[in-house]
């Protein structure tokens, strides 16, 4: 790779990453009440999501009378995008009243009540097709919650999600014969996996920590890692001593490094995830998201000039505490509470760990295989600088609550050059 190709790759990657929303899960809901010979329900959608669906510009403090002006538009939007069927046949949606639900920091939700037609008896399973907003955004989710089901012994449940839909997974079967505790637990595991995969800031933090896992560093006379041009220049023919690091010779030290990083990150974010989800310790979201953003830069800078030499676990543990608060915000967005909160918390945390392990399992073997090549040096330098840039960009946006619009600007330049 020559220098021009290197710069072009950097430019293109900045364009892509600047347009990605980190840590911003979006949900809409179906709540079902299953009675002896009828099924009622309601759709719930946040005002921001409603704006996206219908091209509106409503605020959270909107009056119910204003929302009702768009009642027919909203019902027309739902009709082709949500379908119910069973062995009894297709069940048409009969719409009822539209209401508003204001949920504190979660904002205002529009509730669209409905009843399913052609229900003469309760089927054992309900096939649900849900394709709301997936054409508008890639990270939207649809959640199904059974509030009441006499047949399954479920009463006043608002805690357990039975199904969740995502882009590419828009048709599922809902079992109406058995309790949803186990299914809810599995669903929360999926939520945890899904969140770590769409939580780009968490992925980049892990990537910054994993990048130096296949090298060992030389010391200078001060006992600190050296910061040299040879370290920053992947295109020169420098010795390992001139670079300040050398590739590991054996698998074990690199693997033990990964184990240590993952263990301390897991312990720390599990602590704060639990404390925040149980409302024991709460921190302002803006502060948490800003710290999460800058944690990426610190971890990436440590790759050039080790701040915690041979003690990267300190970074993983210290900033992992704030990442835990970030994970907790997702549980808050889903609206989980009640008797099953502990089980939901456990399932979500398992999902986060599985997603985290999947990411590391995909990255680490590649780094180990290429550790002695120039490609690894390029990835270390290019990747770390890019992580620092993205981190600072997000920190400014989150800390000062502004939209820098850099991604849109760079994309317009890129389009004008290559189109």
| 296-300 average pLDDT score | 92
Report the mean per-residue pLDDT for the chain. 81
CB proximity list for 97: less than 8 A, separation 6 or greater: 113
| Whole-Å CA distances, 134 to 15, 58, 415 | 23, 20, 25
For residue 239, count CB atoms less than 10 angstroms from its CB and return exposed for 0-12, middle for 13-18, buried for 19 or more.
Answer: exposed
pLDDT beyond 90 at 258: yes
pLDDT (0 to 100) of residue 181: 62
Q: What is the pLDDT of residues 381-394, one digit of tens each?
A: 889 999 999 999 99
- As a whole number of angstroms, the longest Cα–Cα distance in the chain is 83
Q: Distance between CA atoms of 388 and 296, rounded to whole angstroms?
A: 7
341 confidence band (pLDDT: 50, 70, 90): low
Three-state DSSP class for residue 255: helix
Q: What sign has the CA pseudo-torsion 224, 230, 233, 237?
A: negative
CB 372 within 8 A of CB 245: no
| 346-363 average pLDDT score | 90
Domain boundaries defined on the chain: 3-21+199-217+229-418, 26-179
| 269-275 average pLDDT score | 90
pLDDT beyond 60 at 205: yes
DSSP codes, 110-164: EEEEEEESS-SS--SEEEEEE-SSTTT-SSEEEEEEEEEEGGGTB-S--S---EE
pLDDT beyond 60 at 123: yes
Q: What is the pLDDT of residues 301-326, one digit of tens each?
A: 988 877 766 678 889 999 999 999 88
pLDDT beyond 70 at 369: yes
Q: Distance between CA atoms of 116 and 31, rounded to whole angstroms?
A: 12
pLDDT (0 to 100) of residue 223: 40
- φ and ψ at 161, to 5 degrees? -90, 130
pLDDT beyond 50 at 370: yes
Q: Show the tokens assigned to 273.
A: 């995830």
Q: What is the pLDDT of residues 210-256, one digit of tens each?
A: 999 998 876 644 444 455 666 676 777 776 666 777 888 889 989 99
CB 314 within 8 A of CB 45: no
7 confidence band (pLDDT: 50, 70, 90): very low
Q: Is the pTM of this model over 0.75?
A: no
Q: What is the pLDDT of residues 10-64, one digit of tens each?
A: 444 444 444 444 434 478 999 999 887 889 999 999 998 999 999 999 998 889 9
């Amino acid at each position: 790779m020559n220098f021009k190709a290197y710069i072009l790759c950097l430019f293109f990657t900045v364009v892509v990453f600047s347009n990605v929303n980190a840590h911003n899960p979006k949900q809409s809901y179906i709540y079902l009440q299953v009675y002896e010979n009828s099924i009622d329900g309601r759709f719930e959608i946040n005002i921001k999501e409603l704006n996206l669906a219908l091209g509106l510009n409503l605020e959270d403090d909107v009056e119910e009378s204003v929302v009702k002006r768009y009642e027919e538009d909203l019902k027309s939007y739902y009709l082709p995008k949500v379908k119910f069927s069973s062995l009894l046949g297709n069940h048409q949606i009969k719409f009822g009243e539209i209401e508003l639900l204001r949920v504190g920091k979660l904002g205002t939700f529009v509730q669209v009540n409905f009843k399913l037609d052609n229900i003469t008896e309760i089927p054992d399973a309900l096939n649900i097709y849900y394709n709301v907003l997936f054409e508008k955004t890639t990270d939207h989710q649809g959640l199904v919650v059974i509030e009441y089901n006499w047949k399954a012994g479920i009463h006043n449940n608002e805690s357990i999600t039975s199904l969740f839909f995502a882009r590419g997974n828009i048709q599922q079967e809902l079992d109406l014969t058995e309790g949803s505790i186990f299914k809810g637990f599995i669903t929360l595991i999926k939520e945890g996996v899904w969140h770590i995969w769409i939580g780009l800031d968490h992925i980049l933090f892990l990537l910054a920590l994993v990048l130096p896992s296949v090298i060992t560093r030389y010391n200078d006379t001060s006992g600190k890692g050296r910061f040299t041009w040879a370290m920053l220049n992947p295109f020169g023919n420098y010795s390992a001593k001139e670079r300040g690091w050398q590739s590991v010779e054996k698998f074990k030290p690199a693997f033990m490094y990964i184990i240590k990083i993952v263990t301390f990150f897991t312990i720390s974010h599990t602590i704060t995830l639990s404390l925040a989800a149980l409302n024991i310790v709460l921190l302002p979201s803006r502060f948490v998201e800003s710290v999460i953003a800058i944690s990426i830069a610190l971890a990436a800078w440590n790759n050039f000039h080790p701040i915690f030499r041979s003690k990267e676990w300190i970074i993983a543990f210290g900033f992992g505490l704030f990442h835990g608060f970030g994970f907790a915000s997702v549980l808050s967005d889903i609206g989980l509470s009640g008797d099953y909160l502990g089980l939901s918390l456990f399932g979500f945390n398992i999902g986060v760990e599985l997603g985290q392990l999947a990411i590391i399992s995909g990255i680490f073997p590649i780094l180990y295989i290429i550790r002695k090549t120039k490609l690894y040096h390029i990835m270390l330098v290019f990747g770390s600088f890019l992580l620092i840039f993205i981190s600072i960009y997000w920190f400014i946006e989150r800390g000062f609550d502004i939209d820098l619009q850099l991604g849109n600007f760079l994309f317009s330049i890129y389009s004008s050059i290559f189109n």
